[in-house]
C-alpha cells in the first residue's frame, strides 16, 4: 500500500510542471554535454593520435637514416647502441631487420634471428617507404613489449625502409607505447564525466530554483482562479516584472476587477430593481388594505385609491418592461433591425408627437436645424431614444422654458442634440446619469412616472448603433444631450466609419 502510495505520489510529482521543466532542462543539458564531450574527445583523440603518428614516423625516419651507413658496414654494435639510446629516450623499442625481415638488432635483444612477419614489414619489404599500424599487445606477444608496456596496452609499430642509394638493405621497426594516448583520453573522459555530474547537480538545483520563478506566478494565478471560481471576486495576483506572466497577471487582475465591479453592479442592480419593484407593490398593498379594511365603504375614497393602484400597476409594468429591455440588451438577445432611415424625419416625427405635451406644459419645443442625414438603424429603437430624450427635456424644464432639437452633419457622423434650459443636472450626478435606476431627484421622477431606467436604455440602444451619447449640463441653466451616430453612405452601401 505504501509502495503504491509512493508510486502515485511520485507520478503526481513528475506530472507537475515544475518537475517536467527540470527534467527537460536536465535532458537538454545531458544530451548537449554528451554530444559536445564525445565530439571533443573524438577530435582531441584524433589530433593526439595523428600528432603521435607524425612524431614517431619522424623518429623512425631519423633512426633509419642514421643507421644507413652502419647497416651497410654491418656494424651491429653501433646500430645496437643507437637503438638502445633511442629506446631509452622515447620509452620505445627499436629493431633493425635485414632484407629477409630477420631481426639483426633489437634494443631488447629478444628477437634477434627471428623473422618479423607482420604487415608493416611486408609492406616495406615490398617497396613501400614506410608503414605503420596500431595493435593491442597480448601477453604472449614478445614483439609488442616495449620497455614499460604491459599486456593489454596499445602499441604502435612504425616500419621504415633502410637504403643504400636505391637498394633496400633493411627495415627499421620502431615500436612505441601508444597506450598513454588512450589513458590520457580516458582520464579526460573521467574528468569530463565528473564535471558532467557536477554540472548535472548544479543545473538541477538551479533549474529547480529558476523554474520556480516561472511556475510560482502560474500557481498564484491558479489560486486566484480557484478563489474566483468560489465566487470571491476580490482575488488578485501580484504583478512581477514585465513579461508574459506579468501581462497575464494584469489581465487577470483587470478581469477580476471588472467581475468584481460587475458583481457589485449586479448586486446593486438587483437591490435597486427589487426596491423599485417592492415600492409600488408596497403602495398597492397599503391602498388595498385601506380599501379592504375601511369600516365604512366610501366609494370616492375607493375610486381614488384604486386609481392610485392602477397607476402603481402601470409603473410596475413600465419598470418590468424596462428591466426586460435592459436584460435583453445585456444578454445580447436584443437585435437591431438595421435599415437605412432618415434621421431627420425620425427626429421630426418625435418632435411632432411631443409638441402637444410641451404646449401643455408651456414649453417651446423647436426643431431648429436639421440636415438630410441617413443612418443605418432600427427605427423603433431610435424612436425610443429620441422620444425619451425630448420627453426628459420637457419634463425637467419649467413652464416658459424651451427645448431645442438639432441635427447636423460632422464629417461622417450625424450629431443630434437635445438641449433645454431646464433645471440642469448637478455635476456630481452627471457621471451617473446613465446608470440604472439612478435618479437625481427621486421624488420628481416618481411624479413624472420615471423608472430610472430610461437613460440607461437610451445609452444601450445608441451603443448598439455604434454611436455615443454624452451630456453637458449646468444646474439651473439647462442640459444638452448629444447623440452621435455614423452616417449611412449610400455609395459604399454601408455605414461610414
Partner 1 sequence: MIRTILKSSEYRRRFKQGAKAVLCVMLVFLLTSCSALISINESGYDSIPSELPTPDVETPLAPVGDVTEGEIYRANIYSISSDGLTLAPSIRVMWLTGADSLSERLSEEALRTPTLPGGAPIAPANSALAYVEDGNGIATISIRPGEHMSEGKSQAFLASAMASTLLEIEEISGVNVLVSGRAMEYMSLPIGTVTRENASLEKMIQDASDDFSHVSSGSQTEWRLVRNVTLYYPSPDGKYVVPEIKRLQFDTSDYASSIVRALSSRGDDEFLLPGVPLASDALTEKCRYVQENGENILEIRFSGDIVNAIDESAVERWQFLASVVLSTTTFCPNTDGVRVFVGKSMVTSVPDKGGEYMSFANGVIRRNDFAGRIAVPVKVYFENIAGKLSYEVKAVPLSEADSVRTRLRLLMEGPDTYGFVRTVPEGILPSDILGTGVSGSIASVNLSSEAYRLAQELTKEEEKMFVYSIVNTLTEIDGINGVRIYIDGRETDTLAGNIWLRGVLLPNPGLSAD
CB closer to partner 1, 144 vs 485: 144
List interacting residues with partner 1 (CB under 8 A). 27, 30-31, 34-35, 37-39, 41-42, 45, 49, 73-77, 79-81, 84, 98-102, 104-109, 112-115, 117-119, 121-122, 125-126, 133-136, 154, 168, 181-182, 185, 189
Residue (38 or 463) nearer to partner 1, CB: 38
CB of 3 to partner 1, least distance (A): 24
Q: How far is the CB of 136 from partner 1 (least distance, A)?
A: 5
Q: Write a three-state SS string for the chain.
A: CHHHHHHHHHHHHHHCHHHHHHHHHHHHHHHHHHHHHHHHHHHHHHHHHHHHHHHHHHHHHHHHHHCHHHHHHCCHHHHHHHHHHHHHHHCEEEEEEECCCEEEEECCCCCCCCECCCHHHHHHHCCCCEEEEEEECCCCCHHHCCCCCCCCCEEEEEEEEEEECCEEEEEEEEEEECHHHHHHHHHHHHHHHHHHHHHHHHHHHHHHHHHHHHHHHHHHHHHHHHHHHCCCCCCCCCCCCCCHHHHHHHHHHHHHHHHHHHHHHHHHHHHHHHHHHHHHHHHHHHHHHHHHCCCCCCHHHHHHHHHHHHHHHHHHHHHHHHHHHHHHHHCCCCCCCCEEEEHHHHHHHHHHHHHHHHHHHCCEEEEEEECCCEEEECHHHHHHHHHHHHHHHHHCCCCCCEEEEEEEEECCEEEEEEEECCCCCCHHHHCCCCCCCCCCCHHHHHHCCCCCCHHHHHHHHHHHCCCEEEEEEECCCEEEEEEEEEEEECCCCEECC
> Nearest distance from residue 165's CB to partner 1, in Å?
15
In the complex, least distance from residue 211 CB atom to partner 1, rounded to whole angstroms? 21
Nearer to partner 1, 181 or 347 (CB): 181
Which of residues 187 and 330 has its CB atom nearest to partner 1 in the complex?
A: 187
**Shortest CB 2 distance to partner 1, Å:** 28
Measured from the CB atom, the residue of 10 and 35 that comes closer to partner 1 is 35
Smaller CB separation from partner 1, 144 or 393: 144
To partner 1, the closest distance from the beta carbon of 207 in angstroms equals 18
Closer Cβ to partner 1, 168 or 218, answer by number: 168
Of the pair 122, 210, the CB lying nearest partner 1 is at 122
Q: How far is the CB of 89 from partner 1 (least distance, A)?
A: 17
Q: How far is the CB of 35 from partner 1 (least distance, A)?
A: 6
Amino acid at each position: 500500500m505504501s509502495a503504491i502510495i509512493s508510486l502515485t505520489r511520485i507520478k503526481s510529482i513528475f506530472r507537475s510542471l515544475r518537475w517536467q521543466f527540470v527534467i527537460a532542462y536536465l535532458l537538454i543539458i545531458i544530451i548537449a554535454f554528451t554530444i559536445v564531450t564525445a565530439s571533443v574527445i573524438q577530435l582531441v583523440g584524433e589530433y593526439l593520435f595523428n600528432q603521435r603518428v607524425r612524431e614517431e614516423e619522424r623518429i623512425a625516419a631519423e633512426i633509419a637514416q642514421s643507421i644507413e651507413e652502419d647497416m651497410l658496414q654491418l656494424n651491429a654494435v653501433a646500430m645496437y647502441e643507437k637503438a638502445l639510446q633511442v629506446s631509452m629516450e622515447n620509452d620505445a623499442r627499436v629493431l633493425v631487420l635485414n632484407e629477409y625481415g630477420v631481426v639483426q638488432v633489437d634494443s631488447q635483444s629478444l628477437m634477434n634471428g627471428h623473422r618479423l612477419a607482420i604487415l608493416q614489414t611486408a609492406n616495406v619489404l615490398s617497396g613501400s617507404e614506410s608503414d605503420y599500424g596500431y595493435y593491442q599487445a597480448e601477453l604472449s606477444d614478445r614483439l609488442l613489449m616495449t620497455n614499460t608496456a604491459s599486456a593489454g596496452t596499445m602499441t604502435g609499430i612504425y616500419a621504415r625502409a633502410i637504403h643504400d642509394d636505391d637498394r633496400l638493405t633493411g627495415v627499421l621497426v620502431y615500436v612505441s607505447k601508444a597506450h598513454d594516448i588512450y589513458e590520457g583520453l580516458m582520464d579526460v573522459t573521467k574528468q569530463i564525466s565528473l564535471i558532467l555530474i557536477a554540472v548535472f547537480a548544479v543545473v538541477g538545483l538551479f533549474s529547480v530554483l529558476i523554474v520556480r520563478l516561472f511556475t510560482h506566478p502560474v500557481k498564484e494565478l491558479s489560486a486566484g482562479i480557484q478563489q474566483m471560481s468560489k465566487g470571491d471576486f476580490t482575488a488578485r495576483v501580484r504583478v512581477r516584472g514585465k513579461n508574459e506572466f506579468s501581462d497575464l497577471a494584469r489581465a487577470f487582475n483587470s478581469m477580476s476587477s471588472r467581475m468584481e465591479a460587475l458583481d457589485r453592479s449586479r448586486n446593486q442592480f438587483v437591490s435597486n430593481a427589487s426596491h423599485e419593484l417592492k415600492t409600488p407593490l408596497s403602495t398597492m398593498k397599503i391602498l388595498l388594505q385601506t380599501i379592504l379594511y375601511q369600516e365604512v365603504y366610501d366609494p370616492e375614497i375607493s375610486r381614488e385609491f384604486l386609481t392610485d393602484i392602477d397607476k402603481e400597476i402601470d409603473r410596475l409594468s413600465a419598470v418590468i418592461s424596462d428591466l426586460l429591455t435592459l436584460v435583453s440588451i445585456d444578454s445580447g438577445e436584443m437585435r437591431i433591425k438595421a435599415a437605412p432611415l432618415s434621421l431627420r424625419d425620425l427626429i421630426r416625427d418625435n418632435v411632432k408627437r411631443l409638441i402637444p405635451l410641451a404646449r401643455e406644459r408651456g414649453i417651446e419645443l423647436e426643431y431648429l436645424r436639421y440636415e438630410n442625414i441617413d443612418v443605418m438603424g432600427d427605427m423603433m429603437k431610435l424612436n425610443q431614444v429620441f422620444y425619451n430624450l425630448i420627453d426628459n427635456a420637457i419634463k425637467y424644464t419649467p413652464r416658459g422654458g424651451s427645448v431645442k432639437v438639432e441635427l447636423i452633419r460632422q464629417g461622417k457622423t450625424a450629431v443630434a442634440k437635445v438641449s433645454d434650459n431646464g433645471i440642469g443636472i448637478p455635476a456630481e450626478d452627471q457621471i451617473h446619469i446613465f446608470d440604472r435606476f439612478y435618479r437625481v431627484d427621486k421624488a420628481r421622477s416618481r411624479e413624472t412616472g420615471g423608472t430610472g431606467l430610461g437613460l440607461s436604455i437610451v445609452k444601450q440602444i445608441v451603443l448598439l448603433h455604434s454611436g455615443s451619447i454624452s451630456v453637458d449640463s449646468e444646474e439651473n441653466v439647462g442640459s444638452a444631450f448629444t447623440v452621435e451616430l455614423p452616417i449611412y453612405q449610400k455609395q459604399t452601401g454601408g455605414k461610414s466609419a
